[in-house]
Amino acid sequence: MNLEGILWVWEVFQLLPIVRPIPKKLESFLTQTNEKQMKTILSFTTIFFLTFFGTVHAQSPKWQHYRLIREAEKAYDNLDYQTSLKKYEEAFKIKNNSRLHLYNAACSASLAGEYEKAYQFLVQGIDLWFLDIDWMKNDNDFTGFKETHYWEKVLNRINNKYEEIQQDFSQIKKTKLTELVPFKKNGRWGYLDRKTKKILVQAKYYGLSFGGKCLMVELAEKHFVILQNDGTVELYNHRPKPINIPPPPKPYSNKREHHPVIDTTEGFLGFRANYRGEITHVSSVYDSTETFRIDGQGEPYVLIFGPYLINDQWYARVRKNENWGLINEAGETLENFSFKFFKLYELEGDYGDDHWFIFSDSTWRYGIMNLNGEVKLYGEFDNLGRKYENLGLLIVQRNGSYGIIDLKTLEWKLKPFPETLLKIKFSHTEFCDSENKVGRDQVKRFYFLVRNSAGKEYYIDEFGERYISN
């Protein structure tokens, strides 16, 4: 760094309230130093900066809270329960919003004989939806605490919280669970009646599922109860895996377990397939690339995929002169599928003897076409997103807007809409904790969680109806 750079560092550094402006004598000294001296000064300056900002970070409330919690846990492990309790109390003066930390503090307080404090911590944890009464009953840390009058108060408070949930959901007893639609307000979720959009459950919960034979109610992060159709509530400790929309990946994988031999025989323009339906040889006239290898010595292979059995003949998808087409084993192109596509993918689905392909042409417009040349949705989307095999849905985009194609009908399930797509959800006929096992036949109605330009999140159903609370 030159002199100008060092002076700039000092100019920035003196902006800190504890640093006085750079003295004139020091500025004069810096102008007369050589490069070696400047490097020495810079080294000391860097060390000072790191030490100063490291100290500032160490004094931040978030870091102090983390350090105190760790010290409390370490003291607990060392059977020093009084110190553990003291560290928890110091940490809670900074932040006190974790039901698990409160529960652990109650354990330390109980083991230290501070039963009133243990009760206070448990009450705060219960108010944050720590309702695992079976865990408490089997926790040996509360052996002495259970002999006090506080234990009965804890059990009553937990029962009251369950009754509170039942009361909150009392309005849904006359409504089918599949007719409930979650809505979000002030960061919390409630339920609307799908038909009337009337609020049936106020927005006070961390998360809510769509209805099946029961409902999943997320009281706090990763902390669930199951609400049965008759209104009974039971604790559920396993969070179902949601279906999230990832950043736009390529919807189809072109990975191959093996690469066919490139045949350079003169006059050979096609490919060969074995009895297992694997392409074993392919002509060298088609575009090729190289496999990736660390040593840089990639193995060339032809861009060919398939084969597909069409009218008792094998066909393959192959690229030539940067355009895709379908050829048979003799190298003859299939009608309507000559080398004119920038992209070409086969759609896997229950289409009987027919085959459908997604293509894009030289204008970058996409469409869907079968072997007979029948075209659907041409020019109605310009980018591909994720494909959901079990649900029969394909996410696409048009001018940056998301849309959903139904792979069963090859028509729009939901035409492109202005909001950002976040998740795909659905009401169904299965149990509420089996969402990831639900197939298309069990789906009653699709819903799409979106976010508008103002940052508001809500659901749109497959008919374009938006479910927003008043």
Residues 108 and 117 sit within 8 Å (Cβ to Cβ):
no
Other CB atoms within 10 Å distance of the CB of residue 42 = 14
Shared domain check, 136 and 187: no
Where are any strands of DSSP class E within 211-312?
214-220, 223-228, 233-236, 261-263, 271-273, 279-283, 288-290, 300-302, 304-310
Q: Which range, 258-267, 344-353, 404-413, has the best average confidence (pLDDT)?
A: 404-413
**In a domain? residue 399:** no
Integer Cα distance of 44 and 431 in angstroms: 65
**In a domain? residue 273:** yes
Residues 204 and 168 sit within 8 Å (Cβ to Cβ):
yes
pLDDT tops 90 at residue 26: no
Shared domain check, 69 and 52: no
Which of 236, 266, 282 is the last residue before a domain boundary? 236
Shared domain check, 361 and 221: no
Integer Cα distance of 459 and 451 in angstroms: 9
pLDDT band at residue 116 using 50, 70 and 90 as cut-offs: very high
Shared domain check, 188 and 54: no
Choice between 227 and 83, residue whose per-residue pLDDT is larger: 83
Which of 337, 358, 392 is the last residue before a domain boundary? 392
pLDDT tens track for 392-412: 999 999 999 999 999 999 999
Q: Which strands form 366-370's sheet, in the order they lie side by side?
A: 343-347, 356-360, 366-370, 375-376
Helices H, strands E: what count in the chain?
9, 27
Shared domain check, 271 and 364: yes
Domain count, the chain: 4
Close Cβ partners of 421 (under 8 Å, ≥ 6 residues apart): 245, 395, 402, 448, 449, 450
Domain holding 200: CATH number? 2.40.10
Residues 305 and 317 sit within 8 Å (Cβ to Cβ):
yes
**In a domain? residue 275:** yes
Shared domain check, 340 and 289: yes
pLDDT tens track for 407-437: 999 999 999 999 999 999 999 887 776 666 7
| pLDDT for the residue 452 | 95
**In a domain? residue 54:** yes
**In a domain? residue 458:** no
Crossing angle between the packed helical segments 81-94 and 99-111, to the nearest 10 degrees = 150
**In a domain? residue 470:** no
| pLDDT for the residue 19 | 40
pTM of the full structure? 0.71
Shared domain check, 333 and 267: yes
Shared domain check, 74 and 40: no
What's the token pair of residue 12?
């920035």
Shared domain check, 120 and 33: no
Cis peptide before 307 (omega within 30 of 0): yes
| pLDDT for the residue 18 | 39
Which of 165, 193, 228 is the last residue before a domain boundary? 165
**In a domain? residue 42:** yes
**In a domain? residue 353:** yes
| pLDDT for the residue 107 | 95
Range(s) of the domain holding residue 182: 166-236
Integer Cα distance of 406 and 409 in angstroms: 6
Concatenating the DSSP letter of every residue in 432-446 gives: TT-GGG--GGGEEEE
Domain holding 87: CATH number? 1.25.40.10
Average pLDDT rounded to a whole number, residues 26-55: 51
